[in-house]
Amino acid sequence: GILVKRGEVLERLSKVTAYVFDKTGTLTDGDLTVVGVTSFNDLSEHQVLSLAASVEQYSEHIIATAIVDKAKHYHCERYTLQNFQAFPGQGVSAVVNGDEIKLGTAEWLAANDITLSSSQLEQVSMTEEKGISCVFLARNTQIEAFIGLSDELRTEAVDVVLQLKQLGNNITVLSGDRQIVVDSVTRSLGDVKRFAEVLPAEKSAAIKTIQSEGAVVAMVGDGVNDAPALIQADVGIAMASGTDVSIESADVVISHQDLSKVLEASLLAKTTLRIIRQNIVLSITYNVIMVPLAMLAWVNPLIAAITMPISSLLVIGNASRIARYFKK
C-alpha cells in the first residue's frame, strides 16, 4: 500500500523530523457531506444547491464533489455558466442568468467587498463551533446563503499522530478552513501546531519556514491545493484518493485509505537505512578479516571459495528482515 517513486526518497524519509498534515481528506476521512443550507434571503434550499452545484460542476475539490452530490440527490436544476473562474483555496465564480454568482470563503468574498452582517456572522459562528465548515453563496453584491459541510477525523488519525510524536517528530496541521473549525475537528490530536485559513501558496511558504528552522519536513496531503507544499517539502506524501495533481507532485503515494501507512512508511525508511548500514559493516568486516588471511596463505582456496558465498548469504539474510519486520 506504499509506493515510493525513487530510491533516494527512502533516505530523506528516514531523516524526517517534522510532519505537516492537510486537514480535509487527509486527517479526516474525506467523506465530506452537506449537513445544512442556511438562506439569509428569499432563496430556497433547492435554489441554493442548484446555484452552488452549477458553479462547482467543473471543480475537482472535495467541497465541490459534496455539493454536486447533494444537488443530484435532490434533483436540482443545473444552470448554464458564463465566465467561469476558479480561485484556488478561495472559491469559484460564474455568471448565471445574468447574475454574478460567487461561492467560497467569507474572507474571499470580503476581499471583493461582499460582507456578512453581524447577525449573519453570529449564525455562522454557532455552526462553526460544531466543527462544521461553511462555504458562502453570493449573488452580485449580496451574500444569499451558506452551506454547512461536515467531515469526521479518521479513526486511526489520533494513534498515528501520537506515535509520530513519540518518534520525536513535530506535528503541524495546515488547513484552508477557519481556525474555529480546525481547532474543533483536530482537538483530539492533542498538542500539535494548527494553522488555519492558509492559501495554497501560503502552505508552501509555511513548509519553507519550518525547513528554515532546521527541520526535515514531510508534507501529507491529497488535494490540488496541496501540490505546491508537496513539492516544497523534503518528502511529499499523497493519499491515492486525492487529485491527479497531488499524486504527481508527491514522492510517496499511499494507495490505501489508511493514514497508518504514513507511519509505516516512516518505519520502513528507518529500518531499510539501518539494515543497509549493517550490511555495509558486515561486508567490510568479512573482507578485512578474510583478505589478509588469504594473502598470508592461512586460508586455502577451498575454504575461501566456501566462505565467500556465506558472506553474501549473511547480507541477504539480514536484508530479508525488512519483510519479516512488516509481517508482524
Report whether pLDDT(245) > 90. Answer: no
Q: Is there a single domain that holds both residue 206 and residue 231?
A: yes
Point out the catalytic residue in the list 22, 29, 151, 177: 22
Question: What strands, in cross-sheet order, belong to the sheet with 235-239?
Answer: 2-4, 252-254, 235-239, 217-221, 18-22, 170-174, 193-195
Q: What CATH number corresponds to the domain at position 10?
A: 3.40.50.1000
What is the SS3 assignment for the chain? CEEECCHHHHHHHHCCCEEEEEHHHHHECCCCEEEEEEECCCCCHHHHHHHHHHHHCCCCCHHHHHHHHHHHHCCCCCCCCEEEEEECCCEEEEEECCEEEEEECHHHHHHCCCCCCHHHHHHHHHHHCCCCEEEEEEECCEEEEEEEEECCECCCHHHHHHHHHHCCCEEEEECCCCHHHHHHHCHHHCCCEEECCCCHHHHHHHHHHHHHCCCCEEEEECCHHHHHHHHHCCEEEEECCCCHHHHHHCCEEECCCCCHHHHHHHHHHHHHHHHHHHHHHHHHHHHHHHHHHHHCCCCCHHHHHHHHHHHHHHHHHHHCHHHHHCCC
Confidence of residue 315 (pLDDT cuts 50, 70, 90): confident
Chain segment 97-123, per-residue pLDDT in tens? 999 999 999 999 999 999 999 999 999
Q: What cell numbers appear for 217 in the block?
A: 519536513
85: Cβ contacts below 8 Å, ≥ 6 apart: 92, 93, 94
Number of compact structural domains in the chain: 3
**Are 201 and 122 contained in the same domain?**
no
pLDDT classification of 95: cutoffs 50, 70, 90 = very high
pLDDT given for residue 123 in this prediction? 94
Decide if pLDDT at 303 tops 80: no
The verdict on whether 22 is a catalytic residue reads yes
Residue 178: give the domain boundaries.
2-29+152-265
Q: Which of the listed residues 150, 166, 183 is the one where a domain comes to its end?
A: 150
pLDDT at position 65 over 80: yes
The reply to whether 279 and 249 lie within a common domain is: no
**Does the structure show a pLDDT above 60 at 272?**
yes
All residues at 6 or more sequence positions from 295 whose CB lies less than 8 Å from its CB, including other chains: none
160 and 25 fall within a common domain = yes
Q: Among 265, 289, 314, identify where a domain stops.
A: 265
Most confident of 40-54, 255-269, 280-294: 40-54
Mean pLDDT of the chain: 88
- Residue 309, pLDDT > 60, answer yes
Grade residue 324 by pLDDT with cuts at 50, 70 and 90. Answer: low
Q: Are residues 106 and 175 in the same domain?
A: no
Do 68 and 159 fall into the same domain? no
253 with 194, same domain? yes
Burial 300-318, CB ≥16 within 10 A → b, else e: eeeeeeeeeeebeebbeee
Q: Please check the confidence at residue 242 and state whether its pLDDT lies above 70.
A: no
38-57 pLDDT, tens digit each: 999 889 999 999 999 999 99
Average pLDDT on 57-83 reads 90
pLDDT at 193 over 90: yes
Do 168 and 17 contact (CB within 8 A), yes or no?
A: yes
Tens of pLDDT, residues 196-223: 989 888 999 999 999 999 999 999 988 6
Q: What band does 323 get if pLDDT is binned at 50, 70 and 90?
A: low
Mean pLDDT of 246-265: 85
Residues 142 and 50 in one domain: yes
CA-wise closest residue to 51 among 70, 35, 36: 70
135-142 mean pLDDT: 96
Strand 91-96 and strand 82-87: the pairing is antiparallel
Quote the percentage of the chain above a pLDDT of 90.
Answer: 53
Residue that finishes a domain, picked among 111, 130, 150: 150
pLDDT confidence band for 328 (50 / 70 / 90): low
* Same domain for 158 and 112: no
Task: Give the span between the Cα atoms of 195 and 189, in whole angstroms.
Answer: 14
* The pLDDT of residue 325: 57
Are 140 and 52 members of one domain?
Answer: yes
Same domain, 156 and 13: yes
Residue 200 · residue 90 · CB < 8 Å? no
Residues 132 and 40 in one domain: yes
